Structure 1
Amino acid sequence: MARPVALLSSDVIGADASARLSQGLQHAETVTIGDETIVLTDEARSVLREILDLLASGQRVEVVPVTETLTTQQAADLLKISRPTLVKLLEAGRIPYEQPGVHRRISRTAIDEFSASRSERRRVGLDALADAFDPDVPDEYVTTR
């Protein structure tokens, strides 16, 4: 089942227009679209400005709905891993899940937390590797033949 997606790029809203709109939103209290005027909350203003700033810098923006409960394939796609690899992580207890019937269901929060912890583990590992680097020690290679 395809999810509705909004793709925004400089083809839709030009970089100059995005920058002007973002600047105009800085102190705006309402936004009018057609005949409809909407009061902006601080959060809505912040999100809109972030989207417009990204467009102004030439980046593409994709807006997709977020469901709270994901299938294993949806969760694997978010983590950019295969579904069998995700199932191994689930069965190893690395990511919590529910199995109300035959199929596993994973909360979006659990995926977001796992993704953040994975990023943190990578950062710590790369920092440790950088700390271990000694420019005075020459690189060594091992011949295998």
Structure 2
Amino acid sequence: MRARRHYRYVGPAELRDSPATGDAMRVETLAMLAGWVDAGPCTFVVAPDGQLRLASRHSEHVALAGGHEVLAAGEMTFGPGPSVVAVTNQSTGYCPDPDCWPAVAEALDRLDVPHPGGFTDQVVFRLCPACGERNLVRDHDFTCALCDTDLPAHWNFAPGDA
């Protein structure tokens, strides 16, 4: 197995320091997902040990991860089975690259959860090298929304990447 990138928290400090979410759950079995079917999108992270963790959509990824690094983060929606019917890497706290999908797939495969085989909606994040703003790249426009600086073509939130 290839070494996975670990994503550190890059969001606001006040969210990093917020208390853990009350409905957070480490998913250990397929049966544990029954309560999430048809509940709408939920927040998820894949911990460095490959463990899938879930919380309500209004929970912060960093709280769900206990402030630690993650292999992936985003939102997930469950349907009958249970199965994953939608999954995205939407997390402005960790800004994971779409290449984190294999960590999500492995966590779901370990639980025998059917899934779409990739993000149903993927987000591209870039850090502006000029002003430090976190950006969501839309329509392949790699321009900082705050200062109009060109954004890097490759993910750049690791120390030394900007």
Using the size of structure 1 for normalisation, the TM-score is 0.24
Q: Greater CA radius of gyration, 1 or 2?
A: 1
Using the size of structure 2 for normalisation, the TM-score is 0.22
Q: Which has the higher helix share?
A: 1
Q: Which has the higher strand share?
A: 2
